[in-house]
């Protein structure tokens, strides 16, 4: 298939089906992330990358036989590997035997949030999530260093776009409110900083697709975004350092408030806010870098 | 009992509408007609499907969420179709011609995509 546009669309559909699969396995948080990141923002980012190149793949005259052999062998090896898997829902599977029962038992008494996934992500595995946040932050910084922040193109006003203007304006407000709901409701239901950041950024992206990027850049200038992303990481690591200076272990939220459980609540809230801020500004930064690149190149 | 039956009817009708849309999407000749088939049926089908689920869940907070979902889908679905049509008309697609634009005009195709995206 040489039409790269169709490839991107197929990739989005694949992500969406993967999200439905996760949902079917009761992994609501993962499904949410997959739908927001894989099917939503990645598609937009790849489309804006495609816009910088061309829609159709160049014809190559090399033989594809070797590639086919490699793909077949890898696929066969992977399928052979799945034969050793424990069957789905097996209580004796290794995943269910080591730390998972401990987390499930300790979450209600020690952390006190209904959503165990949030407790594991933000508290038990706080180090890992800090690492992920730093990875996202550095991805944004690398894209900014490679492509620059871009510049908004002159957006020609079109008369017949009125329907989209009217529909998108309340829709953007709804998306932003929903993102805040996902952010702060992550302790109780599915959601959290990662999903909320992506949804918040997608509100801005939708606005800039319909109203023109120059208007979005007026609302949120591109030069703020790396600072916001750094602020998110700082908030996360600062929460950890605070408990460190109060004589506890790094990222031990028990030190944040009088009682350990309310300390955990506060810590998770702060850490998730940091994650959301970093993810939001990085996603929007990458979008700005790609979509603002044309105006820079055309000069 | 009656509500369950009504919910089943709603779901069945929504499913049928989806099926019609799918057949139209596959069988109709040109881009705009296909889009018409898909969007009109899907919009109504979503309303019926979600209404069926609403009747099934009973009176809870989820009902309000589903109602909001109906409103969003009812507004968003036709607008997305409108945006797709507008973009297609801006490019090389014309309602009167039955053929899709040829892939050989790569450069022109790309520039027309750019101006609308």
- Show Cβ contacts of residue A287 under 8 Å, excluding neighbours closer than 6 positions: A41, A44, A45, A48, A201, A204, A205, A208
Contact A163 B117 (CB under 8 A): no
> How far is the C-alpha of A207 from the C-alpha of A102, rounded, in Å?
44
Closest in B75, B110, B117 to A167, CB measured:
B75
pTM of the model: 0.84
Integer Cα distance of B48 and B97 in angstroms: 34
Yes or no, beta carbons of A164 and B82 under 8 Å apart: yes
Residues 6+ apart with CB under 8 A from A220: A204, A284
Nearest residue in A to B83, CA atom: A164
Task: Flag whether residue A55 sits within 8 Å of chain B, measured between CB atoms.
Answer: yes
Which residue in chain B has the smallest CA separation from A154? B115
Q: Do A54 and B82 touch (CB under 8 A)?
A: no
B79, B110, B117 ranked by CB distance to A54: nearest: B110
**Quick one: tokens of A141?**
């910084």
A168 min Cα distance to partner chain B (Å): 9
> Tokens 């944040």 identify what position?
A256
Confidence grade of residue A130 (pLDDT, cut at 50, 70, 90): very high
**3-state secondary structure string, A54-71?**
CCECCCCCCCCHHHHHHH
Q: Which of A182, A178, A173 is nearest to A204 (CA)?
A: A173
Q: Which helix (H) or strand (E) holds A177?
A: helix A162-184
Task: Look up the ipTM and state it.
Answer: 0.73
State the pLDDT at residue A135: 95
What pLDDT, on the 0 to 100 scale, is given for residue B48?
92
- Contact: B82, A163; criterion CB under 8 Å: yes
Residues of A in contact with B69 (CB under 8 A): none
| DSSP 8-state symbol, A93 | S
Report chain B residues whose CB lies below 8 A from the CB of A167.
75-76, 79
pLDDT tens-digit readout, A210-259: 888 888 888 898 889 999 999 999 999 998 888 888 888 888 888 777 78
Mean pLDDT of A38-55: 88
Residue A18 CB neighbours (<10 A): 16
B84: nearest CA partner in chain A: A164
Phi and psi torsions of A83, nearest 5°: -65, -25
Model confidence at A161: pLDDT above 90: no
């Amino acid at each position: 298939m040489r039409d790269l546009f169709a490839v991107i669309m197929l990739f989005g559909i694949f992500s969406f089906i993967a999200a439905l699969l996760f949902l079917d396995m009761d992994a609501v948080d993962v499904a949410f992330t997959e739908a927001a990141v894989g099917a939503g923002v990645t598609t937009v980012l790849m489309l804006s990358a495609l816009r910088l190149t061309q829609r159709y793949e160049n014809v190559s005259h090399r033989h594809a036989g070797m590639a086919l052999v490699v793909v077949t062998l890898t696929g066969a090896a992977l399928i052979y590997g799945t034969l050793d898997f424990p069957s789905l829902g097996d209580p004796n599977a290794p995943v269910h035997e080591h730390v998972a029962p401990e987390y499930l038992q300790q979450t209600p008494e020690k952390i006190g949030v209904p959503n165990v996934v949030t407790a594991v992500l933000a508290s038990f595995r706080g180090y890992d999530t800090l690492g992920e946040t730093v990875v996202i932050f550095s991805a944004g910084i690398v894209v900014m260093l490679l492509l620059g922040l871009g510049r908004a193109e002159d957006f020609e006003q079109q008369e017949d776009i009125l329907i989209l203007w009217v529909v998108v304006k309340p829709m953007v407000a709804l998306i932003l409110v929903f993102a805040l709901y996902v952010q702060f409701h992550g302790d109780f239901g599915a959601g959290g900083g990662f999903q909320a950041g992506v949804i918040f950024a997608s509100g801005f992206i939708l606005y800039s697709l319909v109203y023109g990027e120059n208007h979005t850049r007026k609302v949120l200038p591109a030069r703020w975004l790396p600072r916001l992303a750094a602020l998110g990481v700082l908030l996360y690591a600062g929460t950890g350092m605070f408990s460190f200076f109060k004589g506890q272990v790094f990222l031990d939220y028990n030190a944040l408030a009088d009682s350990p459980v309310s300390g955990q609540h506060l810590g998770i809230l702060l850490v998730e806010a940091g994650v959301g801020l970093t993810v939001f500004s990085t996603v929007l930064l990458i979008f700005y870098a790609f979509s603002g690149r044309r105006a820079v190149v055309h000069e | 009992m009656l509500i369950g039956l009504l919910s089943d009817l709603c779901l069945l009708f929504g499913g049928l509408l989806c099926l019609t849309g799918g057949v139209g999407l596959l069988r109709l000749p040109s881009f705009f007609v296909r889009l018409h088939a898909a969007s009109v049926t899907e919009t109504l089908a979503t309303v019926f499907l979600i209404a069926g689920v609403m009747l099934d869940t009973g009176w809870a907070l989820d009902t309000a969420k589903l109602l909001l979902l109906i409103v969003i889908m009812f507004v968003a679905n036709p607008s997305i179709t409108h945006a797709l049509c507008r973009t297609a008309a801006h490019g090389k697609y014309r309602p009167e011609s039955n053929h899709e634009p040829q892939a050989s005009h790569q450069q022109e195709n790309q520039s027309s995509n750019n101006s609308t995206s």
